[in-house]
Amino acid sequence: MIQYEPKQWWKVLFDFQRSPVFRTLIVDVLAAGAWAALVVWVEKDVFEFEVPLGPAFLSILGIILGLLLVFRTNSAYDRWWEGRKIWGALVNVSRGLAHQLDAQLVNTAPDRRGLYAEHLASFPELLKEHLRKPRDYDGEHAPNQLLTALHRDVHKDIEAGHLADGARITLQPLLQAFDDVLGKCERIRKTPIPFSYSSYIKQFVVLYAIMVPFALVEEFGYGAVIAAMFSFFATMGLELLATEIEEPFGTDPNDLPLTSIGATIARDVRQILSVPAT
């Protein structure tokens, strides 16, 4: 995820190098301007006939398009923010389980601390790789296998007396929380925005861009070229923003920093369990 200082307003404004939407749209915006120039030239200089559409027509379409884009961007951001909350919960539950194990293993089985530290440190990395596989992937489920091993090791240590009998009650909610994190992440990953909705928004934006110069040529003349470029940048930019963040577990510049979060978890659980970093 791109790191920046929100209060540095001007620096953010002109940071085109790290602005994926600006870089992606620059050619398309120029194409929209070229289309508008062609429409204006044909209507005013070739046929001297103007299509009977005015700004009022654009206003009607703009209201509809605006409502659709608001819903689209809100839906995409909700998916991104939910993903961040889930990985935040993973940080908390990993630390919580590490604290519980640290307290119970300090005088019984210190050699088991390293095993649990590696389990907890490995889970975020395995989960990240699992979420970045194709949606229809039907192979080995590494995160699920690790959680199975974690459950078995906990119950094995309870039976061996390394963990107190009451650990079945105190540790079960924390162990279950890992399954909840896994299931919630898979729900987001395997349930994309419906194709028909996403496709319709893109079609509407393109058709709106095509109609803009026809509606503005009478009032603005060649000024419709600038208006068409700004209009296309605003509408398609919002669509591209939504497309980029609706899959929060990927590798796009503004996707969640899963590697960094996983490194934080690995560092913290090893410190809590007093296990040297590998």
Give φ, ψ of 252 to 5 degrees. -70, 160
The pLDDT of residue 202: 87
Structure tokens at 45: 């200089």
pLDDT per position as a tens digit, 258-268: 999 999 999 99
Residue reference for tokens 């490194």: 263
The three-class DSSP label of residue 6 is: coil
Domain limits for position 212: 28-272
pLDDT at 48 over 70: no
Question: What total of structural domains would you count in the chain?
Answer: 1
Q: What percent of the chain has pLDDT over 90?
A: 36
Tokens, residue 225: 């070229």
What's the pTM value of the predicted model, to 2 decimals? Answer: 0.84
Predicted local distance difference test score (pLDDT) of residue 278 = 67
Give the range among 10-24, 29-43, 139-153, 242-256 with minimum mean pLDDT. 10-24
Beta carbons within 10 angstroms of residue 129's beta carbon: 12
For the segment 111-134, the average pLDDT, to the nearest whole number, is 92
* In-domain check, residue 9: no
pLDDT digits (tens, 9 = 90+) for 16-37: 566 666 677 788 889 989 988 9
Tokens of 203: 């079609």
The token pair that represents 14 in the structure block: 């002109």
Q: How far apart are CA 101 and CA 154, in angstroms?
A: 9
Mean pLDDT of the region 119-143: 91
- Closest alpha carbon to 62 in 172, 194, 215: 215
Evaluate whether residue 19 is within a structural domain: no
47 lies in a domain? yes
d(CA 65, CA 57): 12
Tokens at 148, concatenated? 């199975």
pLDDT at 177: 95
Whether 192 maps to a domain, the answer reads yes
**pLDDT for the residue 121:** 94
Residue 10 lies in a domain: no
Residue 67 lies in a domain: yes
**pLDDT for 12:** 55
pLDDT for 40 equals 85
- As to burial, measured by CB atoms within 10 angstroms (0-12 exposed, 13-18 middle, 19+ buried), residue 213 is buried
**pLDDT, tens digit, 9 for 90 and up, residues 59-92:** 888 888 888 888 889 999 999 999 999 999 999 9
pLDDT (mean) for 7-14 = 56
Q: Tell me the C-alpha distance between 104 and 165, whole Å.
A: 11
Calculate what percentage of the chain has a pLDDT beyond 70.
Answer: 88
- Measure the CA–CA gap between 273 and 102, rounded to whole angstroms: 5
Q: Which of 230, 261, 237 is nearest to 58 (CA)?
A: 230
Is the pLDDT at 179 greater than 90? The verdict is yes
35 and 210 Cβ atoms separated by less than 8 Å: yes
253 confidence band (pLDDT: 50, 70, 90): confident
d(CA 90, CA 78) in angstroms, rounded, equals 18
Q: Using alpha carbons only, what angle is made at residue 150 by residues 148 and 151, rounded to the nearest 5 degrees?
A: 65
Residue 243 lies in a domain: yes
Segment 165-192 mean pLDDT: 91
In a domain, 23, yes or no: no
> CA-CA distance, 59 to 224, in Å (whole number)?
15
274's torsion region: left (phi>0), alpha (psi -120 to 50) or beta? Answer: left
Give the chain's mean pLDDT. 85
pLDDT at 153 over 70: yes
Give CA–CA dist 246/78, Å, rounded: 8
Amino acid at 270: R
